[in-house]
């Protein structure tokens, strides 16, 4: 029989769940207020054009990311590529580069006044166009291919080598065996990685805005900034939510229900790596080229403009750095505090209601960031004017957006905590607050710190919510990079971009350190 949770804990969980779902509900209410003329705007040709451009970009980026990730995943898991572990780390580093920084790098290199624009023009060479679709495609591919790379690596590392060896024993060539045996078994990994890439592109704002590509997220922001009646922006936000939901449904259908597990018991066998032979040099050149575009070029361009910014006159970076840290710390602490009642209810008092409350907390994470920010703008103006334009509203956006990250970490830590320890302390006469303070909290500390660190690192890179909800005069590193780049002040944007990359790289290092090593001969 399921125990009934204490009233105060249940009320706390309901309040947090209501805050998590409130922006989505209010966005629907706002859209329902639209008149017939506004709805007619939604069905005009321009909106359909936005849809096809957004979907086209998502499909193109996913395809390009797959073309890059698949050979790299195979090389770093199945072959004798020299320095596989080092290449794996370097190939994951682009995860630390926010998309608006990738857009900045392209503009600072090939855009008007960029590093290579004048030399290329002087030598009579064509300057690559980085505005519109080409630039958005390159920036987003470089930023997102690691999602597919990591997913495909995991799929390759989990496969039983006996399957491939069986195909080879039947006379198949290595290439035919790969496409007939290995590739079909990678379907779940590919679909999950492609889903991450596709959803990332659909929700991206920084790269498409800087590179002036008309996607849904940029159109929503432009409509919000330039129109007096912003109901149409709400309708565009709902349209983007519908597109996101359709992608999720498509992923379920593509994933299928087939099983891909081992049939034999016992320890997994490890096969000898494939010898590259004369293909070793081309493989190294491929890895080097991807690292050069994804790591060396961004760092080099940022250092170049950063040095120029130090020599010339640039605004102080202290204020945006402190703003980023302050907002991210407050968001991390508030997210962990909000996650505690939801995690406790789900783990210690499981039931339909508590499970529903935990699942509701994921609604904000499912909304594209620009849509979430827009819904909170509407909510602040119409229902919470005393919060609109304050730091508290920005922190609320971080909590709604990143609450699932904290819930996941706290829930995992709580599942490993023996409930009898708290019961024993209570049987000795300790009050519930004392039990939590003296027994539960110390044992949960690793999970609490991990959740707070994850939210902090993610909030540092958040751009749409910060642009729309930050108080007047409040700057973060992300908004400084975006604002300076949009105005062509590349030197001013370089230093905050470098700081953002350095902080984000800490999270990537933690991610890669948890992954198992590739098979060894």
Q: Residue 225 and residue 468: Cα distance in Å, rounded?
A: 9
Q: Supply 430's token pair.
A: 């300790």
* Neighbour-count burial of 228, counting CB atoms closer than 10 A to its CB (0-12 exposed, 13-18 middle, 19+ buried): exposed
Residues spanned by the domain of 156: 48-226+275-312
Look-up of token digits 């098979």:
519
Asked if residue 351 and residue 221 are part of one domain, the reply reads: no
At 74, which CATH number?
1.10.3720.10
DSSP 315: -
Rg from Cα positions in the chain: 25
Among 336, 345, 329, 328, which residue's Cα sits nearest to residue 441? 336
State the pLDDT at residue 358. Answer: 81
Q: Contact at 8 Å (CB) between 147 and 65?
A: yes
Asked if residue 54 and residue 39 are part of one domain, the reply reads: no
Confidence of residue 250 (pLDDT cuts 50, 70, 90): confident
State the pLDDT at residue 344. Answer: 83
User: Residue 274 forms beta bridges with which residues?
Assistant: 79
Asked if residue 454 and residue 376 are part of one domain, the reply reads: yes
Confidence of residue 268 (pLDDT cuts 50, 70, 90): very low
Asked if residue 221 and residue 106 are part of one domain, the reply reads: yes
Share of the chain above pLDDT 90, in %: 13
State the pLDDT at residue 159. Answer: 65
- Asked, for residue 501, whether it belongs to a domain, the answer is no
State the pLDDT at residue 292. Answer: 92
Asked if residue 206 and residue 81 are part of one domain, the reply reads: yes
Q: Contact at 8 Å (CB) between 220 and 233?
A: yes
Asked if residue 12 has pLDDT above 80, the reply is yes
Q: Contact at 8 Å (CB) between 82 and 118?
A: no
Other CB atoms within a 10 A radius of the CB of residue 39 amount to 13
If DSSP codes are grouped into helix, strand and coil, which group holds residue 4? coil
Q: CA separation (Å) from 166 to 123, 158, 176?
A: 57, 17, 13
- Asked, for residue 334, whether it belongs to a domain, the answer is yes
* Neighbour-count burial of 373, counting CB atoms closer than 10 A to its CB (0-12 exposed, 13-18 middle, 19+ buried): buried
Among 222, 231, 216, which residue's Cα sits nearest to residue 378? 231
Q: Residue 470 and residue 391: Cα distance in Å, rounded?
A: 6
Residues in CB range of 81: below 8 A, 6 or more apart? 75, 87, 276, 280, 283, 284, 287
Asked if residue 289 has pLDDT above 60, the reply is yes
Q: CA separation (Å) from 123 to 106, 108, 117, 119, 375?
A: 20, 19, 10, 6, 50
Asked if residue 452 and residue 424 are part of one domain, the reply reads: yes
Q: Which range is most confident: 95-99, 399-403, 427-431? A: 399-403
Q: Contact at 8 Å (CB) between 320 and 467?
A: no
Asked if residue 508 has pLDDT above 80, the reply is no
> Is the model more confident about 314 or about 44?
44
Asked if residue 288 and residue 349 are part of one domain, the reply reads: no
Among 94, 100, 118, which residue's Cα sits nearest to residue 486? 100
Q: Contact at 8 Å (CB) between 457 and 504?
A: yes
Stretch 24-47: mean pLDDT: 80
Taking only the tens place, the pLDDT of each residue in 100-126 is 888 888 888 887 777 787 787 778 777
Stretch 168-174: mean pLDDT: 63
- Asked, for residue 98, whether it belongs to a domain, the answer is yes
State the pLDDT at residue 288. Answer: 93
Q: Residue 212 and residue 214: Cα distance in Å, rounded?
A: 6
Asked if residue 355 and residue 211 are part of one domain, the reply reads: no
Asked if residue 459 and residue 334 are part of one domain, the reply reads: yes
Q: Which of 267, 288, 312 lies at the terminal end of a domain, its last residue?
A: 312
Asked if residue 305 and residue 422 are part of one domain, the reply reads: no
Asked if residue 395 has pLDDT above 90, the reply is yes
Q: Residue 501 and residue 511: Cα distance in Å, rounded?
A: 15
Asked if residue 346 and residue 296 are part of one domain, the reply reads: no
Taking only the tens place, the pLDDT of each residue in 366-387 is 677 888 888 888 888 888 888 8
Q: Residue 15 and residue 9: Cα distance in Å, rounded?
A: 10
Asked if residue 99 and residue 82 are part of one domain, the reply reads: yes
Confidence of residue 398 (pLDDT cuts 50, 70, 90): very high
Asked if residue 417 has pLDDT above 90, the reply is no
Q: Residue 215 and residue 137: Cα distance in Å, rounded?
A: 12
User: Residue 79 forms beta bridges with which residues?
Assistant: 274
Stretch 337-346: mean pLDDT: 88
The total domain count for the chain is 2
For the residues of 323-382, what is the DSSP string, one character each?
HHHHHHHHHHHHHHHHHHHHHHHHHHS-SHHHHHHHHHTTHHHHS-HHHHHHHHHHHHHH
* Neighbour-count burial of 246, counting CB atoms closer than 10 A to its CB (0-12 exposed, 13-18 middle, 19+ buried): exposed
- Asked, for residue 72, whether it belongs to a domain, the answer is yes
DSSP 234: H
Taking only the tens place, the pLDDT of each residue in 194-210 is 887 888 888 888 889 88
């Amino acid at each position: 029989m399921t125990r009934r949770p204490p009233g105060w804990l249940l009320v706390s969980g309901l309040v947090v769940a209501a805050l998590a779902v409130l922006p989505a509900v209010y966005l629907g209410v706002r859209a329902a207020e639209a008149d017939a003329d506004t709805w007619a705007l939604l069905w005009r040709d321009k909106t359909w054009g936005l849809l096809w451009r957004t979907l086209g970009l998502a499909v193109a980026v996913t395809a390009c990311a797959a073309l890059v990730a698949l050979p790299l995943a195979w090389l770093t898991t199945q072959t004798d590529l020299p320095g596989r572990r080092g290449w794996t780390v370097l190939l994951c580093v682009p995860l630390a580069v926010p998309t608006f920084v990738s857009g900045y790098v392209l503009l600072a290199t090939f855009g008007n006044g960029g590093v290579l624009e004048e030399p290329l023009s002087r030598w009579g060479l064509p300057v690559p166009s980085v505005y519109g679709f080409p630039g958005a495609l390159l920036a987003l591919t470089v930023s997102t291919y690691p999602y597919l790379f990591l997913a495909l690596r995991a799929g390759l590392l989990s496969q039983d080598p006996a399957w491939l060896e069986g195909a080879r024993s039947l006379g198949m060539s290595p290439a035919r065996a790969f496409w007939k045996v290995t590739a079909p078994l990678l379907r779940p990994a590919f679909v999950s990685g492609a889903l991450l890439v596709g959803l990332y592109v659909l929700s991206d704002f920084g790269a498409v805005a800087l590179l002036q590509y008309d996607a849904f997220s940029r159109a929503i922001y432009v409509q919000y900034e330039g129109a007096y009646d912003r109901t149409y922006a709400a309708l565009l936000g709902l349209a983007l939510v519908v597109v996101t939901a359709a992608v999720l449904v498509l992923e379920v259908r593509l994933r299928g229900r087939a099983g891909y597990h081992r049939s034999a018991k016992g320890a997994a066998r490890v096969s000898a790596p494939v010898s590259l032979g004369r293909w070793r040099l081309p493989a190294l050149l491929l890895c080097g080229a991807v690292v050069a575009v994804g790591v060396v070029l961004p760092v080099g361009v940022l250092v170049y403009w950063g040095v120029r910014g130090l020599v010339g006159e640039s605004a102080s970076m202290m204020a945006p750095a402190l703003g980023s840290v302050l907002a991210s710390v407050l968001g991390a602490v508030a997210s962990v505090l909000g996650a505690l009642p939801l995690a406790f209810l789900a783990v210690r008092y499981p039931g339909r209601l508590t499970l529903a409350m935990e699942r509701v907390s994921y609604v904000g994470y499912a909304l594209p960031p620009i849509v979430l920010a827009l819904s909170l703008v509407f909510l602040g103006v119409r229902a919470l004017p005393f919060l609109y334009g304050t730091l508290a509203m920005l922190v609320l956006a971080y909590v709604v957006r990143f609450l699932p990250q904290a819930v996941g970490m706290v829930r995992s830590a709580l599942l490993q905590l023996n409930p009898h320890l708290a019961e024993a302390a209570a049987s000795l006469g300790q009050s519930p607050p004392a039990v939590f303070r003296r027994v539960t909290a110390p044992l949960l500390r690793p999970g609490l710190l991990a959740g707070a660190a994850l939210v902090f690192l993610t909030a540092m890179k958040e751009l749409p919510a910060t642009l729309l909800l930050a108080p007047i005069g409040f700057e973060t590193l992300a908004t400084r990079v975006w604002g300076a780049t949009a105005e062509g002040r590349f030197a001013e944007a370089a230093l905050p971009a470098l700081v953002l990359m350095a902080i984000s790289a800490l999270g990537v290092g933690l991610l890669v350190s948890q992954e198992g090593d590739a098979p060894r001969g």
